[in-house]
Amino acid sequence: MFLLVVALLLFIAVHLIRVLAPGFRLAMIAKLGRAGWIVIQSLLSLATLALLVYAFGQARLVTGMLYTPPTGMAHLTATLMLVAMICLVAGLLPVGYISTKTKHPIVLAIKIWALSHLLSNGETASVLLFVAFLAWGVILRIALKKRARAGEIAPRPFRSGRFDIIAIVVGVVLWAAFIWKLHYWLIGVYPLVIG
């Protein structure tokens, strides 16, 4: 469990460098160039993600249940994940109405993912993972709002509503793939047990 805590702290710290240590980030960009810094941060992101995946797998072997989720929570989680998948895809496409209304659809997708999984997972390691990601999403959203108010980032311009249609279609297909087999192949658990 200690390794999971360390992995979570490292992963989140790498992904919050702009928020936690903006001066360090700017110094590294000045020293390495923007492209060099992006490479370094990408490698750190991948390394901490790999450590997090390993640590989570190890923690699940030794931790017990913190709470037992109420009946039906898996179905609520699956429903919320449909919204999260659509938001995730919308955030990767040019701006449509979904991106305009949510402002930061990828961050929203992370928060929905974390919260929805807290509803259906009472295992201690899972709770720690999802609480950490939910907190990260909240901190990131607050930081993005502050940067927008300070004029550091401008909203991406609206392009077309057709990107919303694409986001919905691709999001539903991705969601269905996770429900069908992808979640089991990646995580080892079927999201819904029917029958």
Q: CB burial class (10 A; 0-12, 13-18, 19+) of residue 8?
A: buried
Q: d(Cα 90, Cα 168) in Å, to the nearest integer?
A: 8
Question: What pLDDT is attached to residue 114?
Answer: 97
Q: d(Cα 162, Cα 166) in Å, to the nearest integer?
A: 6
| pTM for the structure as a whole | 0.88
For the chain, counts of helices (H) and of strands (E): 9, 0
Alpha-carbon Rg for the chain, nearest whole angstrom, is: 18
List the chain domain ranges.
1-62, 65-195
pLDDT digits (tens, 9 = 90+) for 15-44: 999 888 888 988 999 998 999 999 999 999
Q: Which residues of the chain have pLDDT under 50?
A: 195
